[in-house]
Amino acid sequence: MRGQYNFESDIKFLTGKGALRNSTVTLSNMGCRRFMLICDERSAKSGCLKSLLRRVDKKLNIVAQYRKVKEKACAEDCDKALRLYKEKDCDSILALGDKSAIYVAKAVKIMLKDGVSFMSNYLDCAVNNISSNSIPLTVVPTYLSSGIEASNIVRVWNEDDKIIQLDTPFAQTNVLVLDPSMCTLIGRKRIASTGLNALAMAISSLISRKKVNPMTKVYALDAITLTTDNFEQCLLYSGIRKYRFNLAFATVLAGCAYWSSPNDLLTALADLICDISGADYRDVFNILFAKVVEKIDFKWNFDTYALVNLIGNNQYIKVQDGKKGGEIIKDCVNNYYAELKKYVNYPLKLKDLGIDDLMISKIYDAFTKDGNAEKEDLADKFLKDE
């Protein structure tokens, strides 16, 4: 049967105005007494950290702070944060920031569970699957979130530039706090890439070839509804916090949907492109997703009519008799992309991200080096015409 049980309940969402203040009660009920805060440099500088501390510091006992996580999560950060956790005798972790801070926090959680002192040890050995010892992990995403907080993936860079990637249910977030005060101002391009990324993750999870449970569908549909209702307004009135919050919430939900049944090959290809080119993950994923919609002719084993029924009265769906379900979904996504073009220029090809032919051939070779036919097929479809 199912191999791993982590004996932790599903993610608890605390969202909306006052979520940070209210989270103190929930966290106290969970038995969290001594927190370690892990935060990335960008969030620390932007004022998110100050804002968080102002709201929770008197009620949450934050005894240690590690604020030096860079844009790329490094194994060194994980080791240092772990040492600090042990020195200060903490009992729970609070992660604030974007992707890298969340990766480091998840890595610390796994290392503590396994009794491992150095992240590099995971280069040679796997995560222990039988422990039921867990440390409560609370995540407070900043900006517009990346959806990674809902995943079970940890991806950190070792000193020798090797990537340590773990995919384990023990890396699960326990409490997710999404407070409007953390959705700080960002540029329109970033809003566009985040919103499109939410849409891409949500639709990818709905058309996934893997067996998805109704929970996944719920998160995906919710994400689509929130995105369609708020994306344009968020681009037009990026100063209004309400729209930014709703878009961030959509991304979180889309992340929950996507990471419960991730498209492994697509994720691996996007990761590889980002690693080699240094491009933003969201942009790369959006480009690949647009190609999925364009090139895959929906012959997968899902019922596209059911999908149209499920997505429902979406303003971008134009139901026309005689059209197949797959065509309607394609039209819907294309309409969406076309509508967005009115407001912002977003990258449509990998070349727009500064990835040249040499890099593409390098990516192609690296991706297909193990001779996997499925990978080769995907690389042919996605990289050849670039």
Partner 1 sequence: MRYAEFSNGTKILDGENVIADLHILFSGLGASRIMIIGDRELMAEGYLDKVKERVLAGGSGIAVGAVYLGEDTLDSESALKDLYFVYMSNGCDGIVVCGSGKLVDYAKLLRLAVSTQVKDIKKFFNNSSIGRKVVDVPLITIPSKLGVGSECNALAVYYDSKKKISRNIFNELLSPDYCVMDGNIISSSSKSSMAYGVLSTLGKAIDGFIAVHYARVGIAIKKVETHAVGRIFSKVALTNLKVKALDMLFSDDEEKTVGFALDGAYLSKGLDSNGMGMIYSLALAISDVKGVSYSRCLPLAIKASLKYNLRVCQEKYSEALWSFVGWREYSEYPQEQEERAKGFVCCVEEFVDEVIDKYIKDYHPIILTEDDRQDIAVNLSYNPHMLNNPRYFDPIAIKAVLK
Do the Cβ atoms of 221 and 311 come closer than 8 Å? yes
Minimum distance of partner 1 from residue 6's CB (angstroms): 9
DSSP states along 229-250: HHHHHHHHTTT-HHHHHHHHHH
254 burial level (CB within 10 Å; 0-12, 13-18, 19+) = buried
DSSP secondary structure, 118-167, as one string: -GGGGGTSPPPSS------EEEEE-TT--SGGGS-EEEEE-TTS-EEEEE
Q: In the 8-state DSSP scheme, what is residue 171?
A: G
Of 307 and 378, nearer to partner 1 (C-beta) is 307
Single out the residue of 123, 185, 236, 319 in contact with partner 1 (rule: CB under 8 A): 319
Q: Beta strands of 51-119 (E only): which ranges? A: 62-69, 92-97
| Cβ at position 337, least distance to partner 1 in Å | 22
- Minimum CB distance to partner 1, residue 183 (Å): 10
Provide, rounded to whole angstroms, the least separation between the CB of residue 178 and partner 1: 10
Which residue's entry shows tokens 């309409």?
335
301 binds partner 1 (CB under 8 A): no
How many binding residues for partner 1 (CB under 8 A)?
Answer: 43
In the complex, least distance from residue 179 CB atom to partner 1, rounded to whole angstroms:
9
- The partner residues of 140 in beta bridges, in order of sequence, read 96
180 binds partner 1 (CB under 8 A): yes
**Selected binder of partner 1 within 222, 261, 270, 285 (CB under 8 A):** 222
Site for partner 1 contains 149 (CB under 8 A): no
Q: Which is nearer to partner 1, 246 or 251 (CB)?
A: 246
The Cα 161–Cα 170 span in angstroms is 25
Q: Which stretch binds partner 1 (CB under 8 A): 15-23, 54-62, 263-271, 374-382?
A: 15-23
Q: Cβ(255)–Cβ(225) under 8 Å? A: no
The residues of the shown chain that bind partner 1, judged by CB under 8 A, are 1-2, 5, 7, 9-19, 22, 26, 132, 180, 213-215, 217-219, 221-222, 225-226, 241-242, 245-246, 253, 305-306, 308-310, 312-313, 319, 321
